[in-house]
């Protein structure tokens, strides 16, 4: 696969940040850039067949419905779901996780029941459970993260003796880049009688994910981190579990029948999709998946593994710079680091002078940063459109930071 | 653009004049910028006419937030609390001598937010 031609298909990557300073985009873990094909697909919908879906019988409504439902099928195939109806469209990963906490967990968990999370979670997989803990008095337990950036599975096995009802964890860390051994974690949870929710926000865009092979019960992910638009995400669920769950939001489209004082829920997946959805975004999501399939997730993973190896070895050569997380075999092309005691905001600002976009802060994982004793880190994250030149520019920029602070 | 890291800002960041604590103090307040983890605590002492005689700050954060705090404290020594209540965004930008985008503006304005919360808090107590 010729990765060097991919960059040209992303309009924003041609942008100059200032005259003569081109963009080096290293913030894909926050959101990915979009290829022209995705942008076009969304404009096409508005220009040619804009209509509401599932109701109208006119030509535009039929075209819009079939494009939107076609996207659902593409997304189901992409993660190897059995049926398109196992894919519920949401706004994003966060909403998908909230759906499980507010529908499945609220129904199935009682006071004192145990929920297992990990110490590396994004706030989106912490706060919904904290809210549930306040409401239902369930007990939250956390799989510890070791200083090497990996989960402590021995401690996990001990926690499983508490007979948890659900285990919810991130497949790939947005800070450390760690790719957790999902299949093993899921298998152990199932043996203990728990169901499993996987936060796939960072994994689904970067590595092949097969829900049947993993045997995961629920998988949450977002379009915008995988070349698609913002405002749409997905929740995969095993049909038997989704069927038993009560609806999440009420309104149009999620009903089969409504009387003044009662309603009957629609069939899956519409039961969980109240109101007019993000139609253009859904269609764009489908085209993003086509784009990734065209390149091949195995190729993308291989490309990023090479980048991760080079990135880590180059960064480790800079005196005073410390990268957090495991060695490259266990992680994606993400590096969160500290640089002497220079504040990450200052690092990000100086890199921006040279058009290099990185993220500074706690990356929505405050407890993880606290564990490592850090208020914040700087994060460079890569995707299929990045190459070795981008690593060169980052390293050069970091030497400039060093010079500015005279250390 | 490199102006952001002007000598004066790096100087106040690396060698702040007002880093420390005042115990007891007449006004104390702390707050943080949750987006980047900047955290600042400011202590003030005033004389009988409510004029600031001593000021100190503690905390951590980026060069902009820390330098902005140090410059702000320097500027309010000798000022009446009532004058401080009327300080605005532009006063901070004038002290720093730079223009800031919306994200970094939050870093620069954190000390003003802290100091205003502190003086208004005390004022409220006085009235009560």
DSSP 8-state code for residue A261: S
Cα–Cα distance between A142 and A125 in angstroms, integer?
12
Nearest neighbour of A346 by CB, restricted to B35, B37, B62:
B62
Q: Are B24 and B46 in contact (CB under 8 A)?
A: no
CATH code for the part of the protein at A3-27+296-404: 3.90.1150.10
> Does A350 contact chain B (CB < 8 Å)?
yes
Cα–Cα distance between A288 and A383 in angstroms, integer?
14
Q: Quick one: angle between helices B63-76 and B102-127, nearest 10?
A: 40
Contacting residues of A for B15, CB less than 8 Å apart: none
Task: Among B14, B62, B106, pick the best mutation site for testing chain A contact (most A Cβ within 10 A).
Answer: B62
Q: For the domain with range A39-294, which CATH number is right: 3.10.20.740, 1.10.10.10, 3.40.50.720, 3.40.640.10?
A: 3.40.640.10
pLDDT in tens, A346-359: 999 999 999 999 99
Q: Is the dihedral of CA A243, A247, A248, A251 positive or negative?
A: positive
pLDDT at A361: 86
CA A406 to chain CA mean position, Å: 38
Query: Number of residue pairs across A and B with CB atoms under 8 Å?
Result: 41
**Percentage of chain A surpassing pLDDT 90?**
90
State the average pLDDT over residues A229-251.
96
> Does A344 contact chain B (CB < 8 Å)?
yes
pLDDT in tens, A371-406: 988 888 999 999 999 999 999 999 999 999 999 998
pLDDT band at B2 (very low <50, low <70, confident <90, very high): low
> Does B7 contact chain A (CB < 8 Å)?
no
Domain ranges of chain A: 3-27+296-404, 39-294
Task: Among B63, B68, B101, pick the best mutation site for testing chain A contact (most A Cβ within 10 A).
Answer: B63
Domains of chain B and CATH, by start: 2-118 (3.90.1010.10)
pLDDT at A1: 61
Residue A340 pLDDT more than 70? yes
Residue B36 pLDDT more than 70? no
> Does B6 contact chain A (CB < 8 Å)?
no
Contact B10 A405 (CB under 8 A): yes
pLDDT at B125: 39
How many residues in chain A?
A: 407
**Percentage of chain B surpassing pLDDT 90?**
65
pLDDT in tens, A30-48: 999 999 999 999 999 999 9
> Does A252 contact chain B (CB < 8 Å)?
no
Q: Where is A381: in which H helix or E strand?
A: strand A377-381
Average pLDDT, chain A: 95
Query: Which pTM value belongs to this model?
Result: 0.90
pLDDT at B35: 67
pLDDT at B74: 96
| DSSP string computed for A267-324 | STTGGG--SS--HHHHHHHHHHHHHHHHH-HHHHHHHHHHHHHHHHHHHHTSTTEEEE
């Amino acid at each position: 696969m010729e990765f060097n031609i991919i960059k040209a298909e992303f309009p924003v990557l041609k942008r100059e940040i200032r005259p003569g300073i081109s963009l080096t985009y290293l913030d894909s873990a926050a959101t990915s850039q979009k290829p022209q094909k995705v942008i076009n697909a969304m404009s096409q919908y508005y220009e040619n067949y804009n209509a509401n879906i599932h109701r109208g019988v006119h030509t535009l409504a039929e075209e819009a419905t079939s494009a939107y439902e076609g996207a659902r099928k593409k997304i189901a195939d992409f993660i190897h779901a059995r049926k398109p109806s196992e894919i519920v469209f949401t706004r994003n990963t966060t909403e998908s996780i909230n759906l499980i906490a507010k529908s499945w967990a609220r129904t199935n968990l009682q006071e004192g029941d145990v929920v297992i999370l990990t110490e590396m979670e994004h706030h989106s997989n912490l706060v919904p459970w904290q809210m549930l803990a306040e409401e239902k008095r369930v007990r939250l337990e956390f799989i510890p993260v070791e200083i090497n950036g990996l989960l402590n599975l021995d401690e996990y096995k001990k926690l499983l003796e508490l007979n948890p009802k659900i285990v919810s964890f991130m497949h790939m860390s947005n800070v450390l880049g760690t790719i957790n051994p999902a299949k093993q974690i899921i298998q152990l949870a199932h043996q203990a009688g728990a169901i499993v929710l996987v936060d796939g926000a960072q994994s689904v865009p970067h590595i092949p994910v097969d829900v049947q092979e993993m045997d995961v019960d629920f998988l949450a992910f977002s379009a915008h981190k995988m070349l698609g638009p913002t405002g749409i995400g997905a929740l995969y669920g095993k049909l038997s579990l989704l069927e038993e769950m009560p609806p999440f939001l009420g309104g149009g489209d999620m009903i089969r029948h409504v009387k003044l004082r009662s309603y009957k829920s629609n069939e899956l997946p519409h039961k969980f999709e109240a109101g007019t959805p993000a139609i253009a975004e859904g269609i764009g999501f489908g085209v993003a998946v086509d784009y990734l399939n065209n390149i091949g997730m195995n190729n993308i993973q291989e490309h990023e593994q090479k980048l991760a190896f080079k990135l880590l070895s180059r960064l480790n050569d800079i005196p005073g710079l410390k990268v957090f997380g495991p060695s490259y075999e266990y992680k994606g092309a993400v590096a969160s680091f500290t640089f002497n005691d220079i504040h990450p905001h200052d690092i990000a600002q100086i890199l921006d002078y040279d058009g290099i976009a990185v993220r500074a802060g706690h990356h929505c994982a405050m407890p993880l940063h606290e564990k490592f004793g850090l208020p914040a880190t700087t994060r460079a994250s890569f995707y299929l459109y990045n190459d070795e030149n981008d690593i060169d520019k980052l390293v050069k920029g970091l030497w400039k930071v060093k010079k500015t602070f005279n250390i | 653009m490199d102006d952001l890291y002007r000598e004066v800002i790096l100087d106040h960041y690396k060698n702040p004049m007002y880093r420390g604590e005042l115990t007891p103090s007449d006004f104390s307040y702390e707050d943080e910028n949750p987006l980047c983890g900047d955290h600042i605590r400011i202590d003030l002492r005033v004389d009988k006419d409510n004029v600031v005689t001593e000021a100190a700050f503690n905390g951590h954060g980026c060069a902009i937030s820390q330098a902005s705090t140090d410059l702000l404290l320097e500027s309010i020594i000798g000022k009446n609390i009532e004058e401080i209540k009327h300080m605005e965004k532009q006063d901070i930008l004038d002290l720093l001598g730079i223009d800031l985008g919306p994200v970094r503006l939050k870093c620069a304005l954190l000390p003003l937010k802290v100091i205003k919360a502190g003086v208004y808090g005390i004022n409220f107590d006085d009235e009560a």
